[in-house]
Each structure stands twice: as structure tokens, then as C-alpha cells.
Amino acid sequence: MLLPLVLVLALTPPTAAVTVPGAEHQQLARLADLTTTGTTVSGHTDPADWAGLTSAALPVPAAVPGIQIDGYFPDTSRTNTNHGWHDSQFVLRLPDRWNGGLVVTGAPGVREQYANDRAISDWVLSRGYAFAATDKGNTGAQFYRDGRAMEEWNHRFTQLTIAARAAVTQRYGRAPRRTIATGISNGGYLVRWQLENRAHLYDGGVDWEGTLWTVAGPNPLTFLPPVLRAYPAYLAGDPSAHAAMVAAGFPAGTEFLWDYHYRYYWDLTQRILREEFDPGFDGELEAGIPFCASGTPSCDADYSYAARRRIAGPSIAPVALTGKVKKPLLTVHGTYDVLLPISQDSDVYAAMTPDRLHRYYRIEQGTHTDGLVDAYPDRLRPLAPCHRSAFVALEGWLDGIDPPRSATVPRPNDVATCPLS
């Protein structure tokens, strides 16, 4: 049995020239600290990119010295303006003390390549992993302008994985003996898709509330429109509207989260995702009419995926998930997620995946973004500790130790921990 990676740290030789194959441009910097404590000061991260994704209490590890490579692959779209560059930007971090592993991530939502720096990069670097992240090839609320944008997400993740493995080999003189895919939300979707379609590149993955896309449904276009119709009626006191919210997958007990998600997530997410897959629904409009009332012409609150499946389905098909993962995958998802409700997402995906390759942890009182834990510390708990527990469980699984079986994980007394069994 191999020793856990965290126990086999090795001091690497002085930095040599490292290049990322296929990159159109790259900049290498030796940094005294690759964690967000150091990169925030040196300008090698963008705090706005990871704002709101973690709770304030999430610890930052001690300094991790090493080299960082920022760059981009050839692309023609320009939604990501970091550094004054175009899209398909990446960041690669190579710690001096390397454990032989590589972690590859993609940005959640429509954020940029630094979005996982606090939630994932800091911690895996402290364990000795090299870390790579992509902006997925397009960013921002108008990502759909890139054309078949979500298909590009998967391509860019694969592209970075191949290039990062080569760069790691240059840096340390040997190929990574372990490559792990992980990510949050849309980044979790990428993990699922890679382990279904490009599994030979990875040893396993950890999926943090990945988005589920299926042609038949469910998918976000099936559960967001009913919520957009019901929520204004719920605010107006219509008792049937509450039942409609719950029926759409948004459980009783999460009402305190609904207004925030209506204002900042549900409406925008529905419109931009629908524009990606069904741009003709609203005619000449682009991404519909914000916060339109049901009954307004071309209103996304009245969008019916069932009625439009003949049009939207073929666009979803190339990015759809099947559940047929070919490498070990662990999923963590909060029961209080009211952007990607668990009953419409990971519960369904777990039923699609083979038991021998999937472990699924339903995290009680976890919600979609850990930043909300600071506003509701008594009603929510962070998912970052659960992601870390799942990651450690994957390490053990790859070393021959079967991880805890799938379970609903109750809230512990100390939410900085997350026992999975």
C-alpha cells in the first residue's frame, strides 16, 4: 500500500525553467508564499474572484514557497480581462515541497481562474500538491456570447490538465503519480464530466455540489422557472406558492435564504443559462428581461423546458452527464442548497453513478456558498471542511482504504470539522 501523499513530502531542487505546453503566453514568478496570504499582497490572485465563496473562519495555512505561472491558451474571446489578457487564462502553482500530486480545478459559476484560491488552492498547497486552475475559456454574465461556451469549459479543463501534468514533470523531474480533479458548482460539474469522458487523465475526483445537466431533466432550466413564478406570489402571501417552491426542490426550512437567492442568483442564472442553450426563446432579446412578472412576453419565469426540449435538448446533449464515471468520485452537497437544490441535482446524480466508484455525502444545513454561513451561523454550516474530509477520504481510497459509505452527515458541534461516517 502506498503511504498517504501528505506523508511523503520531498524537498525539490532549485527552480528550473518551466513552460506550460500550448500556452500562448505565460509569466513565471518565484513567490515566498503561494497561499492567499502572500498572493493577495504580491498581486498573484484576485480577492474579488473568490469573494463570498468561503466563511471568514476558514483558516489560511502557513506560507508555502514555490513558483506560480500565470498565462493563457490561444483564444479569441475576451470576457476575462485579468492582466489585460483574453480568455482561457490559467494559474499553475508549484510548491517547493511537493508530495507527488497534482490538483486540477475549474472556476465555479462564471468566475475567473483565481476563484478557488481560498477554498481549495490554499489547503492543497499546504498538503504538498501542485495546483492548476482554469477560467473555463469564458467568464462573466455574458459568457454565452462565446458560442457553445459550456462545451469549451470541458475542453479547457482537459487542456489544462494535460499541460499542467507536463509542466509538473518539467519542474520536478517526474510525472505526477496522482492527479485529482475537484471543483465547486460549475467546477464540480467539470469534475463529473471529466471522470465520465476523460477519465484516463485522472486518478479520482471530489465534486463539491456540481451542476447536473441532463437532456431529459432535471437541470437548472427545469427547476428555476417554477421558482421564479412562485416566489413573487409567496411574498404576496399566496399559500399555494410556498407549496410550489417546495415542490420545485427548495425545502421548507430554507425560506430565510430565498430572498437573497431571488435577488442575486435565480433570475440571473436562469436567463444566462437559457440564453446559452435556447437563445431563440426571447427572440431578439439577449438573456431575457430581468425580474419580469409571469405573463410578460418572453419572460423566463414562464420558460418551459418540457415545451422547449426539442430546441434546447440538442444543445445540452454535448455537455450532458450520464453518471458513468470511470474513476473514484466523491460528492458533497448541502441539504440547504437553494441554487442547485439537492433533490434535483446530486440525489439524482448519485442514482446515476455506479456504487463501486461513487461515494455521496449529503451535508445537513450546508448551502451553496459558504460566505452565507457568516450571516446565518446558527442555521448554516460551511461545506469547505466537508470537501476537505472527502478529499482525504479519496486519498485513502486511492491507497486501498474504502471510504465511508454514502450518508447524510449531521451538523457537528464544531462546524470547522466534518466527520463523514
Query: Residue 6: what pLDDT?
Result: 35
Query: Rounded to two decimals, what is the model's pTM?
Result: 0.95
Q: Which residue has the cell 531542487?
A: 13
Q: CB–CB of 349/324 below 8 Å?
A: no
| pLDDT tens-digit readout, 228-248 | 999 999 999 999 999 999 999
Residues 394, 407: Cα–Cα separation, whole Å: 15
Residues 334, 337: Cα–Cα separation, whole Å: 5
Mean per-residue pLDDT of the chain: 95
| pLDDT tens-digit readout, 137-195 | 999 999 999 999 999 999 999 999 999 999 999 999 999 999 999 999 999 999 999 99
Report residue 386 as a C-alpha cell.
Answer: 466537508
- For 210, the 3-state DSSP assignment is coil
Residues 230, 233: Cα–Cα separation, whole Å: 5
* Dihedral sign of CA atoms 116, 352, 221, 318 in order: positive
Residues 222, 40: Cα–Cα separation, whole Å: 39
Q: CB–CB of 17/161 below 8 Å?
A: no
* Dihedral sign of CA atoms 64, 71, 129, 171 in order: negative
DSSP label of 17: -
Q: What torsion, rounded to 10 degrees, do the Cα atoms 403, 192, 207, 105 define? A: 120
Residues 38, 15: Cα–Cα separation, whole Å: 19
Residues in the chain: 421
Query: Residue 8: what pLDDT?
Result: 37
Report residue 8 as a C-alpha cell.
Answer: 511523503
| pLDDT tens-digit readout, 196-232 | 999 999 999 999 999 999 999 999 999 999 999 999 9
Across the strands, what pairs with 27? 70
CA distances in angstroms from 332 to 117, 184, 205, 323, listed in the order given: 19, 10, 11, 15
Q: CB–CB of 300/270 below 8 Å?
A: yes
Q: CB–CB of 111/133 below 8 Å?
A: no
DSSP 138-170: --STTGGGGSSHHHHHHHHHHHHHHHHHHHHHH
| pLDDT tens-digit readout, 281-306 | 999 999 999 999 999 999 999 999 99
Pairing state between β 329-334 and 204-208: parallel
Residue 310 backbone dihedrals phi, psi, to 5 degrees: -60, -30
pLDDT of 5 above 70? no
Residue 258 C-alpha from the chain's centroid: 21
Residue 165 C-alpha from the chain's centroid: 21
Residue 190 C-alpha from the chain's centroid: 7
Residues 358, 364: Cα–Cα separation, whole Å: 19
Q: CB–CB of 345/336 below 8 Å?
A: no
Q: Phi-psi region for residue 119, left (φ > 0), alpha (ψ -120 to 50) or beta? A: alpha
| pLDDT tens-digit readout, 101-135 | 999 999 999 999 999 999 999 999 999 999 999 99
Which stretch of DSSP H or E encloses residue 229? Answer: helix 220-235
Burial code of 389-399, b = ≥16 C-beta within 10 A, e = fewer? Answer: bbbbbbbebbe
Q: CB–CB of 342/333 below 8 Å?
A: yes
| pLDDT tens-digit readout, 46-94 | 999 999 999 999 999 999 999 999 999 999 999 999 999 999 999 999 9
DSSP 379-419: T-B-SHHHHHHHHHHHHHHHTT-PPPPSEEEPPPSSTT---
Number of helices and strands (H, E) in the chain?
Answer: 12, 12
Residues 31, 70: Cα–Cα separation, whole Å: 13
Contacts of 147 (CB under 8 A, 6+ apart): none
Q: Average of pLDDT values for 30-39?
A: 98
* Dihedral sign of CA atoms 123, 82, 146, 226 in order: positive
Query: Residue 16: what pLDDT?
Result: 54
pLDDT of 20 above 70? yes
Residues 11, 417: Cα–Cα separation, whole Å: 30
